[in-house]
Amino acid sequence: MKLIQSHDGESQLFKPGTASVVLAGLLVALKVVGGTLADHTYLFLGAGEAGTGIAELIALEMSKETGSPIEVCRPKIWLMDSKGLIVASRIDSLQAFKKPWAHEHEPVATLLEAVQSLKPTVLIDTSGKGCMYTPTYRSYR
């Protein structure tokens, strides 16, 4: 594991190679389907160091592609933890590395509810729980 210093000074652990591989996969997929990173809505199942690290790298690349500040790009990326969707109303109880991902939205408890509400075009599972997706999720594109 690699120790990094986050933007707020709190240390976090994650494997940066994993984030690079995920971003590379997304960029290759875009060559097939067309469009840019900013054309998509991302939903992560898992908001630990790996999920937030990957999300941050995607947001950084989106910022680079669009010329927009990273704060403008982060709202395209949503994360869920064991308590549900990371939303602004939970900000006081969130760990520091999750706070940049707390967007304005009503609380959502389950992955299916998040998919129905956000209609993400990209799902990324960093939860370590195994396959959580069933054919039901495909109908919400």
pLDDT tens over the chain, length 141 residues: 343 444 455 444 455 678 888 999 999 999 999 999 999 999 999 999 889 999 999 999 999 999 999 999 999 999 999 999 999 999 999 999 999 999 999 999 999 999 999 999 999 999 876 655 566 655 555
Model pLDDT, residue 20: 87
Model pLDDT, residue 93: 96
Model pLDDT, residue 19: 86
Model pLDDT, residue 43: 97
HEC per residue, the chain: CEEEECCCCCEEEECHHHHHHHHHHHHHHHHHHCCCHHHCCEEEECCCHHHHHHHHHHHHHHHHHHCCCHHHHHHHEEEEECCEECEHHHHHHCCHHHHHHCECCCCCCCHHHHHHHHCCCEEEECCCCCCCCCHHHHCCC
Model pTM above 0.75: yes
Model pLDDT, residue 128: 75
Model pLDDT, residue 75: 97
